[in-house]
Every structure is written in structure tokens, then in C-alpha cells.
């Protein structure tokens, strides 16, 4: 797909929305950093200008047992007047706008819990007060199945059997040449998937894409939840991935995209359905199960997509960030230091008195 600058005011509706947008920017910049030059993001290939780069991406995957929705937010580190994003997707994929609230709420839900522990180890103050753990005929070979506009996104859905012809079509239609992606493209076409080309172009002459892009949402039918990341095998740098998976039960990764660098489970447990952008949970309750995974993948290690399956059991898990309060130990250390000081002063006096008394007694 193609990222572009949001229309003026598109993301500024309320002070709360603005605050949430700032948090999303911080999360994507700090937690989903894709070092430049970024030629791919976690679930697609980004085509941007030489002076601007996609600096972060955060994603949520929701699966109700038969249909999956992927919501993602990307941010730019500099203004650009033309950005493109190309992503593979199954046939019949629906395209819409997502919610920044969902990304923020799920991130907050998956944070480690903090435990405070008092450390009575004697120590002197100031040593460490707090510690934390934690080709020419391409038109015949490529079919344009649909062309639609969703918010600021212009989306073209392409199908075909020849990735080379599809790449030529992209170039002929104004997209930069990404011949390096022919191999991964062909893998998806062989699976019967489509290639989505999204263009975000400014609505005004002086408008550019800078900061957070509007959330994009993709939904499609599937009996096996999947997160397409294979295009990142062509990235120039490591990819940081953090993925929130929402379902009725705990979801395990059934196939790692990079077996040598598996994503780590960061959180697993029940959260409010509203945090996932749902009115009710999949079982009719007000809760859903959130499984959050994260890690860093080197491009050469990525050989497939992530797929997910229901875990054998629902096992809540939350990381613990232990904050150790050393002040009790500092107080104890100070008490010991004072006691030793007093002993150093009083001890010689006591000894002197004792010796003097003994001498007097011996002289009688």
C-alpha cells in the first residue's frame, strides 16, 4: 500500500484523540523503530522518497474464528509529497480505516505489571537507590480487480500469475521500480493472494505526509490467522515487530516467520472487548483474549509469514517489572555505620576506664 499525508484535520477531532495520536507516534517511534533506509515494513513494502522514511509501525490482528482484521499505524520522519505502500493480501480483502484508540489500548493492556520489593541489604545512600528488572505485455498478465478510495488512501487491488509482469505494471503506473520484490511477490501470487498498491497523495499543493499516517484496516476470511511479513526479507535493516493478536482464546504462533529469531510472548490474558474496538467479546461477554508478541527480525532470517493457532489452554502471562526499593537497606546501613562510629569512639574510652580501674585496684 502507499502511505500519504492525512487530510487537514483528519486526525484532530478532540483533545483526547490528539493525545492518543501523540502516544501512537511515541510507541511507533520508540518500540517499532525500523532503522533507515527502510525499504520494507513489518507487513508490506514501503516506497517513499529519498528524504523521508517510515520510522515506525504498530499492528493489531483480530480473529473471530473465520475472519481476520489487521489494523496498522505507520509514522514518517520527514515530510513527503508522494508515498506508496505495497502489501500482499488474500482475495476478497476489505479495506477501511482503523482506530488509533485500539492500538493504544492494546499496548497499555500488554504492559508489564510493576512489583515493588524492599531490599534490606545494608548499603550506603547514593550507591543505587532504584533498580529495575526487567514486460510490454504486462497489462494482459495483470488484472486490476478494484480501485477504491478509503479516507486518504487510494487502493488498487492487483491479481495475476507473473510477479515480473506485476512489477512492470507498477512501474508503468508511476510506482518506483521494486524488482527486488519479484521473488516474494511470486510466492504470494502462487498462493492465490492479491497485491494491494496504495497511494496517499496530498489533497492540497502545500500538503505533505509528516508524522503519523491514518490507521489502515484490512479484513479477510481465513481459518488460520496470518500476519504477512515475507516482504521484509528484502529490507535493508532489522525489523522490530510487535503484534497484538485478539481472539476468543490464547493464540500461539504456529509458524514463525524467522525460526532462528522467534518472536517472544510478551502478554497473554483477558482484556476489555472495547480495548480491541469491539462492542462485545466473541463469546458474548465483555472480554477478549489478547496475546502480544514482539522481537527483532533480521531480513535474512525471514522466510515465511507468521501464522497463529489456538493454544492448548488459556494461560495468563504478564511480564513483571520489578522495582527494588533500597531505602530500607540504606537506613540499615546508616544505622550500622553510626553504630560502628560510636563503637570506635566509645570503645577506647571504655577500655581506658577498665584498665585504669584495674590498675587502681592492683595498687591497693
29 neighbors 38 (Cβ within 8 angstroms): no
Higher-pLDDT residue of 9 and 340 is 340
125 CB-side CA count, 13 A: 8
Higher-pLDDT residue of 58 and 4 is 58
pLDDT confidence of residue 177 = 80
Distances in Å between the Cα of 3 and the Cα atoms of 46, 56, 80, 139, 331 are 8, 12, 10, 25, 57
Distances in Å between the Cα of 29 and the Cα atoms of 53, 95, 346 are 12, 25, 61
Beta strands at 239-247 and 54-63: parallel, antiparallel or unpaired: parallel
Higher-pLDDT residue of 225 and 296 is 225
What pLDDT band is residue 352 in, cutting at 50, 70 and 90? low
Higher-pLDDT residue of 267 and 38 is 267
Average pLDDT, stretch 325-340? 64
Residues 353 and 364: their CA atoms lie apart, in Å, by 17
Residues 145 and 201: their CA atoms lie apart, in Å, by 21
76-131 pLDDT tens trace: 554 555 667 788 999 999 999 888 889 889 999 999 988 776 655 655 555 544 44
What grid cell was written down for 351? 577500655
Residues 64 and 87: their CA atoms lie apart, in Å, by 22
Peptide bond into 37 cis (omega under 30): yes
Total residue count of the chain as it appears in this document:
364
Amino acid at each position: 500500500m502507499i502511505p500519504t499525508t492525512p487530510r487537514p484535520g483528519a486526525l484532530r477531532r478532540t483533545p483526547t484523540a490528539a493525545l492518543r495520536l501523540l502516544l501512537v507516534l511515541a510507541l511507533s517511534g520508540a518500540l517499532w523503530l525500523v532503522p533507515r533506509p527502510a525499504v520494507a515494513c513489518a507487513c508490506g513494502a514501503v516506497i517513499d522518497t529519498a528524504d523521508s522514511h517510515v520510522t515506525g509501525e504498530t499492528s493489531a490482528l483480530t480473529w473471530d474464528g473465520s475472519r481476520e482484521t489487521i489494523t496498522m499505524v505507520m509514522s514518517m520522519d520527514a515530510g513527503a509529497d508522494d508515498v506508496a505502500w505495497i502489501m500482499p493480501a488474500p482475495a476478497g480483502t476489505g479495506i477501511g480505516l482503523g482506530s488509533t484508540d485500539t492500538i493504544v489500548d492494546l499496548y497499555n493492556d500488554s504492559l508489564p505489571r510493576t512489583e515493588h520489593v524492599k531490599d534490606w541489604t545494608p548499603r550506603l545512600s547514593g550507591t543505587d537507590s532504584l533498580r529495575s528488572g526487567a514486460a510490454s505485455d504486462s497489462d494482459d498478465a495483470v488484472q486490476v480487480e478494484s480501485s477504491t478510495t478509503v479516507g486518504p488512501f487510494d487502493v488498487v487491488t492487483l491479481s495475476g500469475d507473473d510477479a515480473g509482469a506485476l512489477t512492470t505494471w507498477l512501474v508503468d503506473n508511476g510506482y518506483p521500480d521494486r524488482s527486488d520484490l519479484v521473488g516474494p511477490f511470486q510466492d504470494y501470487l502462487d498462493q492465490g493472494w492479491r497485491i494491494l498498491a496504495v497511494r496517499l497523495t496530498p489533497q492540497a499543493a502545500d500538503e505533505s505526509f509528516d508524522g503519523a499516517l491514518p490507521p489502515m484496516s484490512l479484513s479477510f476470511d481465513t481459518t488460520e490467522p496470518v500476519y504477512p511479513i515475507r516482504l521484509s526479507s528484502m529490507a535493508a535493516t532489522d525489523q522490530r515487530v510487535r503484534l497484538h493478536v485478539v481472539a476468543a482464546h490464547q493464540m500461539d504462533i504456529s509458524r514463525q516467520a524467522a525460526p532462528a529469531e522467534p518472536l517472544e510472548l510478551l502478554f497473554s490474558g483477558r482484556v476489555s472487548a472495547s480495548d480491541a474496538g469491539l462492542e462485545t467479546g466473541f463469546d458474548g461477554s465483555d472480554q477478549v483474549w489478547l496475546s502480544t508478541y514482539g522481537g527483532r527480525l533480521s531480513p535474512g532470517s525471514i522466510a515465511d509469514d507468521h501464522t497463529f493457532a489456538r493454544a492448548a489452554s488459556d494461560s495468563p502471562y504478564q511480564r513483571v517489572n520489578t522495582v527494588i526499593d533500597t531505602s530500607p537497606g540504606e537506613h540499615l546501613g546508616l544505622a550500622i555505620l553510626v553504630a560502628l562510629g560510636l563503637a570506635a569512639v566509645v570503645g577506647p574510652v571504655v577500655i581506658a576506664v577498665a584498665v585504669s580501674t584495674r590498675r587502681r585496684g592492683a595498687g591497693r
